[in-house]
Amino acid sequence: MDLRYLAPDFAVAPQIELEDVAKAAELGFRTLINNRPDDEVPDALQHEAFQAAAEAAGLRYVFLPYEPGLLTQDLVDGFESALEGAEMPVLAWCRSGTRSSHLWALSQAGLRPTEEILQAAAQAGYDHSALLPLLRGKAASRAKFT
């Protein structure tokens, strides 16, 4: 399992295996967020199998599929809701970890400095410079309501 921490209590990973669920629990993770759509994985890695493995390991499990190139406000809202109800720490995954890291970055916009978000992503191996306009817009909209 290739864990890439974006914050002390949040990591993303490329696709994990079912046996990694128990390993994640052993490492102290309390919540799993699966952003990989079922149509991208073989039958053995469908979200129901991960849900069962998470339940067996005593972990909270959220399935929030993010189709490549289809970042929506509903996905960001869903991710924020998942984090609000999450026991920390959280592990999220998709094919490479990129989509999960996008959702984390947008969920943090306006809560953390934009440069801190970009730097955390870069240190984890993800270039989020293309998200900069979205991060700034999200931060500005959040500022209007605080």
Q: What is the CATH number of the domain that holds 100?
A: 3.90.190.10
User: What are the angstrom distances between the C-alpha of 21 and each of 81, 138, 145?
Assistant: 22, 32, 37
Residues 6+ apart with CB under 8 A from 110: 138, 139, 140, 141, 142, 143, 146
Question: Does residue 66 carry a pLDDT above 80?
Answer: yes
Percent of the chain scoring above 70 in pLDDT: 97
The mean pLDDT of the chain is 94
What pLDDT does 85 receive? 84
pLDDT digits (tens, 9 = 90+) for 131-145: 999 999 999 987 655
What pLDDT does 99 receive? 97
What pLDDT does 145 receive? 52
pLDDT digits (tens, 9 = 90+) for 85-128: 899 999 999 999 999 999 999 999 999 999 999 999 999 999 99
Question: Does residue 25 carry a pLDDT above 70?
Answer: yes
Structure tokens at 142: 């959040």
Whole domain around residue 139: which residue ranges?
4-144
What pLDDT does 146 receive? 45
Q: How many domains does the chain have?
A: 1
What is the average per-residue pLDDT within 55-79? 95
